Structure 1
Amino acid sequence: MRATIYVTDDDQNVCAALSRRLVKKGHHVRSFHSGPSLIEALEHELPDLLFLDLKMPEMDGLETLRQIRQKIPKTLVVMLTAYGSVEDAVEAMRLGAYDFLIKSIDFSTVDPALHRAITFLELRRRIEFSASEKQRQYSWEHVIARSPAMTRVVEQLKFFDAQDTPLVFLQGEVGTGKEFLARILHYNSHKQLGPFVTVSCNEQRGSLLEPQIFGYERGAFSGASQSMPGAFEHSDGGTLFVDEIEHLPIPVQGSLADAIRTREFCRMGGFDRLPTNNRIVVTSSIPLDQPGYQEIFHPELRSLLEKQQLFIPPLRERKEDIIPLVIKTIHAYGEEIGRPKLDIDSSVPPLLDTYQFPGNIRELEAMIRRAVLCSQGPVLTSLDFYSQHPGSGEGLPPNTGRVLFEIGGHSLQDIQVMVIDEVLRFTKQDREQAAGYLHISTQTLDEYIQLRKKISHETERS
């Protein structure tokens, strides 16, 4: 990068020689011969990097640094001296200097320091650019909240952020946008420059989740040949997103509750309690008070989550948001595939208004993508939202959601199996979407599938 660099030294020969060296490397350079002249220049322009002589007659480098530090919080300051002391170096670093160099006749010590500083500046710019892109992607304006239900959600999220709440619990059906809202909260908070670390409890075996979340010490278990940090340490200063907490083993839930309560945790196999400075966002598709499911939550964790619970409504309870979501998704996907001016006609809203969207926003987005790919022109009609092959399980076929059976010919258990088979066929064996259609968790669906296999096996044996 081409940096703006200020050189300040009372020795005009040193100042000129160093400035020439920096100019030859392609940088924009200005030179000053005293602290006051530098301070005056900073009123008009701020440099990326400042080389500042320690020993100057009118105002020495440390006093100059002391006066300008608040004005140039992002400028890197490299102190220069012909005869430095440890005390001077320590004081310079305490005041915020980036580096401390002993001047040489040929300035050979400057080049490595310059390289380190430029590398740091480039990295910081990339991080800041990435953060600003994320802030645009996850700004509050991207949350569609025309419905009263979602308006309340946005208000509560903003309240949590204003209170700097260390724990937020988002409860809602599969596909309601819980991770999106967690990212909205992160990138609009003072933790936005910190990391956003995700732990998906449903995608790992239970035994692997504890070391993934808390890290581990060497020898903590077979194969732990060295110590490793976990998600708590990786997310320090940012957000730890724990998705589908109901799949986290109960003992690990207890450790998580302790970490939330004390703001400290231990690595697996360790004894030292490490401090944490992150926000923890936990999600579940199962209500804490749902009958028959209380035992899947650790009592201490449930108590903490109940105090910070925010219900994310299913799409069928926020009808006012459906068409704005459709328009937003059509425009975004259209841009992505090179069709930026897509729209819908008047036949689409009545059609979508009658549909229940058991898969919620995730299903709506998938439906829109299929409709866009099926459409021939710039305006999507209701026909584009119906499957090209009725009954294939895509789009909105006329017989969506119907399972036929003869009354009196089957037991309740048989009917349950038939319904689950049909929903799995309809979703092409997508367990998560099928669970959404049935309004149950994937864990419960798995139990039903095992029951189906057992019934089938017993039938074959008889």
Structure 2
Amino acid sequence: MKGTVLVVEDDATFRAFMQTILQDEGYQVETAVDGLKALRLLRQTGFDVVVSDLNLPGKSGLDLFRETRPDPAAPPFIFLTAFGTVDQAVCAIKEGAVDFLTKPLSDPQALLTLVQRTIETQSRTREYLSLKESEAAGLPPEELLFAGEAMRPVRQLVHDVAATMANVLILGESGTGKELVARIIHLMSRREKGAFVAINCAAIPENLLESELFGHEKGAFTGAIQARQGKFELARGGTIFLDEIGEMPLSLQAKLLRVIQERSFERVGGTREIKADVRIIAATNRNLREEVGERRFREDLYYRLNVFPLRIPSLRERTDAIAVLAEYFMQRFSSQLGKQLKGIEHDAVAALRRYHWPGNVRELQNVMERAAILSREQVRAATLPDEIVSASREGALDSRERLKGAERDLIAQAIAKHGGNRRLAAQELGMSRRSLQYKLKEHGFLDE
């Protein structure tokens, strides 16, 4: 289907003619004989474009157009007019209508071209906004996003689920890149030309979250001076990402469950059913099974969202990816700063690998931005935060102590095995008697 079109025309023959040529071109077409019926249809469902006669019984095409303008989701209008009312059509264009065609249509292709161009313009606008959102999020190359052995199975699962319409629940600690994975799923899906709309359920006060999700009508509450689209409407034809879904209050969980089940919703203060043509990807750093057990999360909603669970490993589980991720962030930030840093020195990489990264990839990104600002030619350990360098030293000392203890145990075992015979013990350990003598003193087996 190329798009949905509402044709408003009181002449039955001409209305049927336009419906036929649009349907033959692959559009889904609804029709209305007057402005009042058209307004009812517009309040019940969404259309990509309206093709309307200017002169209609009851409510004119221009009145219909003006009445829909306060709605931020109102579709664009193309008007049909006789030569005697061209001035009204020009007035409509000044008020925001797309264009007009004169009746009778000398060339039906003109209508098809105008409808196609209007829908494509809307699609490009949504795609542009989605692209700008991705750029703002700093979406890295796929190879980098899935760097590390622990991410290999995650990458395969993402490829498997992207082409479907299944709801996805992304699990993982804060800062692991759950939203970036959600964006990749969207870009690999059949909805990639639609918008990707993200909302953090934990960042918005409970009394405002419902309006953010579903929008509101004018006068729905104090301060609602005009109608407003919610995230579900903005994501029409695309994907909505519900981050920190575990923080959503129970009252809204019930409404979200209804949207998933019925694929429709109403704005706050409204009665019009709006179709929820969206794919839902949710994410949380909580254990939702435990939340269900504690009655803080609805069990039925959990099973609706958990169709395809996807766990993102922490950075502690991806130490083999730290060097390549750090290099990517260093290059990105040095470029933004107008620098040409040559890389990261070995000691700095070692320190990054030993650190435990409670903030995961997001923390690594912040660390490398700071390092890029402080560095001159190369990122050195001195440009890293003290807690990373000190943790690295502690880790190195701890490793040396463990190695020293293991060596002491092996020497003790060899000496005991050979009844105190140092020559035989040295042979088993693969060292000279002199070296063994030195080690015995080092580990306190012999007095000085």
TM-score (norm 1): 0.57
* Pairwise CA distance, 1:203: 1.8
Give 2:339's aligned residue.
339
Q: Are residues 368 and 296 of structure 1, via their aligned partners in 2, closer, same or farther at CA, if it must alter by over 3 Å?
A: same
2:297 paired with 1:305: no
Residue of structure 2 in register with 1:321 after alignment: 321
Structure 1 residues 90, 131: closer, same or farther in 2, change over 3 A?
same
207 and 401 in structure 1: CA distance in 2 versus 1, 3 angstrom threshold: farther
Which SS does the other structure have where 1:363 is aligned? helix
2:390 aligned residue: 398
Gaps of 5+ in 1: 1-69, 75-83, 388-394, 403-462
Pairing of 1:237-386 with structure 2 (within 5 A): 237-290=237-290, 294-377=294-377, 379-386=378-385
For 1:131 and 1:267, how far apart are their aligned partners in 2? 23
**Deviation of the 1:186 alpha carbon:** 1.4
Q: Find the aligned partners of 1:223 and 1:151 in 2 and give their Cα distance.
A: 49
Partner Cα separation in structure 2 for residue 303 and residue 101 of structure 1: 50
Ranges in structure 2 where 5+ consecutive residues have no aligned partner: 4-12, 28-50, 52-77, 91-98, 102-109, 395-448
Report the residue type matching 1:349 in the other structure. Answer: V
Q: Which residue of 1 aligns with 2:155?
A: 154
Paired with 1:234 and 1:178, the residues of 2 have a C-alpha distance of: 21
Partners of 1:321 and 1:198 lie apart in 2 by 27
Q: Look up the match of 1:12.
A: none
Structure 2 vs 1, CA of residues 304 and 102 (structure 1 numbering), >3 Å: closer, same or farther? closer
- CA shift for structure 1 position 340: 4.3
Q: Please report the RMSD computed on the Cα atoms of aligned residues, expressed in angstroms.
A: 4.1
Per-residue CA deviation, residues 285-343 of structure 1 (Å, 9 max, x unaligned), is 11113489733212222232343322111110111111111111111112211124531
2:164 aligned partner: 163
Q: How many residues align?
A: 311
Shift of 1:375: 1.1
The answer to whether the 8 A contact 2:81-2:100 is kept is no
Structure 1 Cα separation of the partners of residues 197 and 291 of structure 2: 32
Q: Report if aligned partners of 1:134, 1:187 keep a CA contact under 8 Å in 2.
A: no
Q: Does the Cα contact within 8 Å between 2:144 and 2:325 map onto a contact in 1?
A: no
Structure 1 Cα separation of the partners of residues 168 and 393 of structure 2: 35
Asked whether the 8 Å contact 2:163–2:190 carries over to 1, the reply is: no
List aligned pairs for 1:196-235, cutoff 5 A: 196-217=196-217, 220-224=220-224, 227-235=227-235
Higher Cα Rg, which structure: 2
Structure 2 residue matching 1:338: 3-state secondary structure: coil
Shift of 1:102: 9.0
Deviation at 1:359, TM superposition (A): 0.7
CA gap of 1:132–1:298, structure 2 versus 1, over 3 A, is closer
- Please give the secondary structure, in 2, of the residue aligned with 1:344: coil
Go from structure 1 to structure 2 and tell me whether the alpha carbon gap of 1:386 and 1:101 turns closer, same or farther (over 3 Å shift): closer
SS in 2 for 1:280: strand
CA distance in 2, matches of 1:208, 1:186: 26
User: What residue is the counterpart of 2:48 in the other structure?
Assistant: none
Cα shift at 1:282: 1.2
Q: Alpha carbons of 1:339 and 1:130: their partners in 2 closer, same or farther (altered >3 Å)?
A: farther
Question: Residues 131 and 192 of structure 1 are in contact (CA less than 8 Å); yes or no, is this contact kept in structure 2?
Answer: no
Letter matched to residue 164 of structure 1: M
Specify the SS of the correspondent of 1:343. Answer: coil
The question of whether the paired residues in 1 share the 8 Å contact of 2:243 and 2:284 is answered with yes
Q: Structure 1 residue 209: deviation in Å?
A: 0.8
Deviations 1:173-199 (A, max 9, x none): 111111111111112221111112222
Partner Cα separation in structure 2 for residue 399 and residue 139 of structure 1: 28
Provide closer, same or farther for how the CA distance between residues 144 and 201 of structure 1 changes in structure 2, counting only shifts above 3 A: closer
Q: Answer whether contact 2:216 2:230 (CA < 8 A) is retained.
A: yes
For residue 117 of structure 1, report the CA deviation from its aligned partner.
Answer: 8.7
**Residue identity opposite 2:237 in structure 1:** G
> 3-state SS of the aligned residue for 2:313?
coil
